[in-house]
């Protein structure tokens, strides 16, 4: 099926691996094994999970609509320029941006770790396939 040059090309590909240690890896990704996030990072992740839902958007829209309706009915909850509502929404926007960036940065680090782990596992599998292809290891 394949020629000697085919297995040589596969071998050269293996030589370019990113990791020197290809010892046995656990079945669980190392990233999933330990949750090393701080309390603040876990809180930020929970807040970001809540912000990105339809429930949050609907509740926020209802609160803003209710605030404006109360203002239109002359209920004294804010001054005529809706300063408190404006400050509240500005504060929310100012906090949401950094929280989203923090969550995104942690997700990027986790994705890189998972990709590195997957690459190591794939390298091990490729080495086993080469051994089987060249007849060095009996199939189990």
pLDDT tens readout for residues 2-28:
455 555 555 554 444 434 444 444 555
State pTM to two decimals: 0.53
Higher local confidence (pLDDT), 121 or 103? 121
Q: What pLDDT does 17 receive?
A: 43
Task: Give the CA radius of gyration of the chain.
Answer: 27
pLDDT of residue 48: 84
Q: Percent of the chain having pLDDT more than 70? A: 72
How far apart CA 54 and CA 45 sit, in angstroms, is 17
Whether the Cβ atoms of residue 31 and residue 110 lie closer than 8 Å to each other: yes
- 66-104 tens-digit pLDDT: 998 988 898 888 887 889 999 999 999 998 888 888 888
């Amino acid at each position: 099926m394949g020629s000697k040059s085919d297995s040589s090309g596969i071998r050269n590909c293996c030589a370019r691996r990113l990791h020197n240690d290809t010892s046995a890896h656990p079945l669980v990704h190392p990233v999933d094994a330990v949750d090393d996030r701080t309390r603040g990072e876990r809180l930020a992740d929970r807040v970001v999970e809540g912000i990105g839902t339809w429930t949050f958007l609907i509740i926020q829209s209802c609160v803003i609509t209710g605030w404006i309706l109360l203002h239109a009915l002359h209920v004294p909850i804010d001054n005529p320029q809706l300063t408190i509502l404006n400050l509240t929404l500005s504060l929310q926007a100012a906090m949401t941006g950094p929280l989203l960036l923090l969550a995104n940065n942690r997700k990027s680090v986790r994705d890189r770790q998972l990709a590195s782990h997957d690459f190591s596992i794939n390298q091990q599998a490729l080495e086993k396939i080469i051994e089987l292809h060249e007849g060095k290891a009996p199939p189990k």
